[in-house]
Amino acid sequence: MEINVHFACTCGAFVEENIYVSEENLATDTTPCNSWKVLICDGCAKDYEAAIISTQNELDVSIDGAVSLEYEVVDNHEYDEISWTIESTQQLETYTKISRDVVLLLQLKIPDEAKNTLYNMLYAQVVTVVEAYLSGIFIHTVINSDDLIRKLVESDPELAKKQFSLNEIFSKWNELKFIVAKHLKDIIFHDLKKIKPMYFSVLEIDFGDIGWLFKAVLIRHDCVHRNGVDKEGNPTGIDESMIIDLIKNCASLVAAIDEQIQFRNLT
């Protein structure tokens, strides 16, 4: 569960942060369940301890010294999705199935006037499914290894800047894992070019030259947001052979990654 908390510090600064509460810290019966989270004011570096008290039907947040405290429970959809990514071991199977589905759809007999639309959709789907694999297998592999989480934090400047209390590190480990997983998911799906150095620095997996993938991402953007034309209005020119070539390149990349992960017993 995610709770958005915001309040004013006594120094005058505004503090806002999302608190992640693992399911094990939520009450499932009439007995209240308590958990704590330390929030830090960016203005004066003052620590605030947020107490989260949950019962079967209610949830309350209290923070001593906070001014105008407000909070709300955020939709659980993202939490559930990221939790599933952390636990799932089906990344390769999902990638393989969708890639095969794309090939089957290419074999359908459709009117010539509908082919451009179909090709744009299928090209975009191939890019999306390889992105999902790269994101999912990385998050699952890293978050389920304390050693790899440490390597990630040491190599990622954004994560390195996050501040956690000793209490959080030792007693809220599952929540910290979720924070790291969400950080990874946001990065990988919004900035694909960061994937290559991240895989290398944390998993020691080198993608080699993936210029073709960066190009495919740009073409996918034209397919999804401009109905298959670029900024100048030129058609993408996607045909069946382009989709097949993209599938082959993606399959080679995924196979190489999976082989190294399995060989080194990273999962």
Distance (Å, whole) CA 12 – CA 37: 21
Lookup result for tokens 């709770």: 3
Distance (Å, whole) CA 69 – CA 59: 14
pTM of the model: 0.70
Amino acid at 100: R
Q: Which residues pair with 74 in a beta bridge?
A: 2
Amino acid at 253: L
Cα four-point dihedral sign 185, 211, 262, 151: negative
The SS3 assignment for 228 reads coil
Ranges of each domain in the chain: 2-74, 84-263
* Residues sharing a CB contact under 8 Å with residue 227, sequence separation 6 or more, in sequence order: 120
Per-residue pLDDT in tens (0 to 9) along the chain, 267 residues = 778 899 999 998 999 888 877 665 555 556 677 878 888 898 899 999 998 888 766 788 999 999 999 988 876 666 677 777 888 888 999 999 999 999 999 999 999 999 999 999 999 999 999 999 998 999 999 989 989 988 988 888 777 666 665 555 555 566 678 778 888 887 766 677 788 888 999 999 999 999 999 999 999 999 988 888 888 888 889 999 999 999 999 999 999 999 999 887 766
